[in-house]
Structure 1
Amino acid sequence: MNDLPYAMLAAVYRGKDKVVLERLPIPTVGPKEVLIKIEACGICGTDLKKIHFGLVEPPRIFGHEMAGRIVKIGEEVEGWEVGERVAVVHHVPCLCSDCPYCRRRAFAQCPVYKQTGTTAGYEPAGGGFAQFVRVMERCVKHGMIRLPSSVTAEEAAFIEPLNTCLKGVRQAHIQSEDVVLILGQGPIGLLYTQLCRRVGARVLVVDPLASRRALALRLGADVAFATTEEAKSYLTQNAPTAGADVAILAVANSNLIQTALDLVRPAGKALLFAQTYLQDFTQIDAGAIGMLEKQLLGSYSGDITLLQETADLIFRHDIEVQPLISHRLPLSAVQEALALASHPSENTLKVILQPWA
């Protein structure tokens, strides 16, 4: 496309709790890169943490749950055409046989993976909170998914977060007939609910918001509780071991780590998903891990080898994502969008930015 504008709108992080809508030059692409016109980008909890806690140096343009259309291709790019609709992930590992992390499938710890491969300007940080994004070589090769016409951009924006959840399910080795307790039924918790149900697990969920509990039941949860105390009482009376086989912590409250451990049976597993920054300290009962052999696991970011499988789950509607979208807002309303995502209420789930709305 030769009719690209000279500038674009972007929501620029300028410091702790400060995101400003600015007009910037459209990124220039190199010979092995592509330029994507962003049609939808979800707001993720990790974006919010960086903004509210000032975890990285400004300026940056966040946003990584993104999908759009290719509008420019570098002269050495093969296999892609201008006009194709794609979803893109912003982290791709080196996939080298001599990388100690890739060899062990610990892709998120690979030094290359940690180098963000998409940007709308400044230090690469995703870039989906802008109208155009530059996709670097390694993400062009391994991090782009072609979209069928039956899938909308906002549905495709869930490929990245669903990939992280599928990785977590595999990390915890969740199996048919496991009793899985999921703490939190925001967008991530609801994705976990559907994935665990799909493998045949019995799914119990906890969330204080009645609307989220109702949606969880509609999407496959067996029982929904307003409090962890209710969940504990139920497990005591109904689970053969008086505890869950696996507990998934899908909320960022690290004070609930001990609660998750308490709610799993001896030799059960507690999976931490939402603990995504360092120096996040809490106290736990070491005896529960040592003597009771409970496992405390972590799962962070995605698994590139599961990317196509993840996309197919959405393409076939095996995992429903449309019910998870509560708000669609233009980039000009980014402040409202961030506020909604940061302070969820009964009516708030996934907030989608539509840069061209």
Structure 2
Amino acid sequence: MTSVARHPMTPTVPPEVISDIYSPDEIAVLFDVVRRKGPWRLIAAQHFATAEEYLAVSGPKNPDLKSKLTLSDLLTPTFRSYLGNFGIAYEDEVHDLYFSRKMLNMIKSIHGAKYATPQSFLFNLRAPAHSYDAGHFDGSSWRGINSNNSPLWLISIMAKSGLFDEWEVKSGQVIAYYYNSDIDGGFTYWPEGPDLPPKRVPAPFWNNGFLTNNEKMFHRGEASGPRGRRTIPDLQLNSLISGEGDNEWVIRNDGTEIARYEDDEMRFLFHYSAHVFDDLADVKRYVEHTDDLTVEKALGMILDDLKRRGKPVPESSDPMNDSGFIAALSSRYAMAPSEYPVEAPLDVPTPR
């Protein structure tokens, strides 16, 4: 009997569509924090320094090598901040939500795990936007290396390489979407791996989403909002968004307004993630750092793997900031979806 190899970017179990994730009172608390406590920064400004770093995480399967993009060409008005992280609730109002037994039990159920600890609790808010994200997976975690202490481009390449399962920290996510419009804005995901057809949940959303293992599944938020308002010519890395009044959102550059939107044009998500452990020995390895990876060891393993495969990459004197080195590693471990829903095609960026 012939067995079919499981793609490394396939979730432990298929994602489960869930509804009524938060109570009305909890929704009010969450949106109150987002509206009152800004301004908030672009996701790209928090995680990427160059186009090569972005493309290592969210680049297409067959990029146009003749089109030299900069990070500015890839910007969309998608902003992010954190309600909690590292096992600490950042806002008093969300303390009980961050340590929610309901959320932790849901995520433990994905892996049949015995123990869990909350990790990142973040929110994204997006004005009308294109989606240049060709599909990505959330930042994986290994003992010693995670998205809190290492760049996302390295996290992505490590996950694609399949070299680090021995150090993997299991995780899961509960993601709630809020987009009160049916103008595009759905969610595309590849539960059987990026080489097979995707599935899609269309908008509108309100307090529904997924129980999922997004660190092992390619997915993307689709373009959203009025199609004629998806480009902001003055958007730049230091652009900030903040709530204005009861139902508006304003994007500014150094205090100067460049765009304004109403609630129904905006797309929001709240993304809760936890780490889970099979037993106390697993917990102790994680907490006591007795078997951690280092960035140096990870890069060494990657370079050794490429040599064995006959695809060597020269070492760099500044590997964490060398865009040519990052692009070379990314191309060696290139992996991205090959098919998109007809209703949600991939937007193609062009140089400004």
TM-score range, shorter chain: under 0.3
- Return the TM-score normalized by structure 2: 0.26
- Return the TM-score normalized by structure 1: 0.26
Q: Which has the higher contact order (CA 8 A, sep 6+)?
A: 2
